[in-house]
Amino acid sequence: MAQKLDEYIEDNKAIIHKEIRKHLDKLAIPERLKSAMIYSIEAGGKKIRPILVMASYETYGQDKDKVISTAVALEMIHTYSLIHDDLPAMDDDDLRRGYPTNHIQFDEATAILAGDALLTYSFEIIANDPKLSSNEKVNIIQMLSSHSGPKGMVSGQILDMEAENHPVTLEELENIHNLKTGRLLSFAITSGAYLSGATTDQIEHLSTFSYYLGLIFQVQDDILDVTGDANKIGKPVGSDSSNEKSTYPKLLGMDGAIKQKQIYVDKAKQALQRADADKSYLILLTDYLTQRDH
């Protein structure tokens, strides 16, 4: 690891940001659609998913140019999912990361279409990347659609909505978060490793790692919703509670939630060790995500 984690994150954020803008800027499309797509991509995200793609790739491989289109596509899919989740018919959020949500900044119809456009464009970007072989493109597209579509993230969103206003067990909560958040994190980790030429065993252990990373991510979100600083997290503290959402602190108490997070961290790090990845940026990113304050 040649760089400190914060430099590594900043450098990769800059690379990804530049690449995403390149793909969006070149679109000769109606101005309103383009602005809405760019708006949510730019609106202050941590770009943690594409950074995980790159860190996973660099655990085993070199020349990270090969993995950038996958990182870009993933960030577009993540962004589309936020735009649609924020809609009045879904979570009805006016603020996201401290900025007005897409449908507030533009309008609902534009937000729906900007989401659809980002989702669709992500597959085109993979299909057009001259750095990938046809086999690699097909495998990445297969993984991306499977993790983000009806078997993955979209099911998580449906289950999350169904879980509102009625109690769920810890097992159900883990299943919802694994689908809603974990599947994209799993794609980030396994796609990067796949493109780097990691072994099937290594990818298998990283897949286990990503499962726990997703749960860490969510429990920390839930904790921040109770204890966080509204200015840092970019939305009002306590919004989960007022939405009557099932959360870790609600199910386990705050102490229980913190203990549960540590259980997930231990399991995540064990899996990293088995994947020969315990000297990579993935382990620093795990600590970073465990302790993040926004």
Residues that bind a second copy (CB under 8 A): 27-30, 32-34, 37, 80, 84, 87, 89-90, 103, 107-110, 112-113, 115-117, 119-121, 123-124, 126-128, 133-135, 137-139, 141-142, 144-146, 148-151, 154-155, 157-159, 161-162
Phi (first) and psi of residue 170, to 5 degrees: -60, -40
Minimum CB distance to a second copy, residue 153 (Å): 9
Residue with tokens 């499977």: 146
Closest approach of a second copy to the CB of residue 223, in Å: 26
Report the C-alpha gap between 113 and 45 in whole angstroms.
20
Q: Closer CB to a second copy, residue 23 or residue 269? A: 23
Long-range CB contact pairs, 23-31, < 8 A, 24+ = 23/72, 23/121, 23/125, 27/121
CA distances from 277 to 12, 206, 283 (A): 19, 8, 8
- What CA–CA distance (Å, rounded) separates 194 from 146? 15
Cβ proximity to a second copy, 172 vs 221, nearer residue: 172
Q: Contact 119/126 with Cβ under 8 angstroms?
A: no
C-beta closer to a second copy: residue 17 or 32: 32
- Shortest Å distance, C-beta 222 to a second copy: 21
C-beta of 68 vs 275, nearer to a second copy:
68
- To a second copy, the closest distance from the beta carbon of 11 in angstroms equals 29
**Nearer of residues 23 and 64 to a second copy, judged by Cβ:** 23
CB of 149 to a second copy, least distance (A): 3
Rounded Cα distance, 152 and 119, in Å: 14
List, in sequence order, the alpha helices (H) in 128-199: 134-148, 153-163, 170-177, 183-196
Three-class DSSP category at 3: coil
Q: Considering the complex, what minimum distance in angstroms separates the CB of residue 171 from a second copy?
A: 16
Q: Is 100 or 149 the residue whose CB approaches a second copy more closely?
A: 149
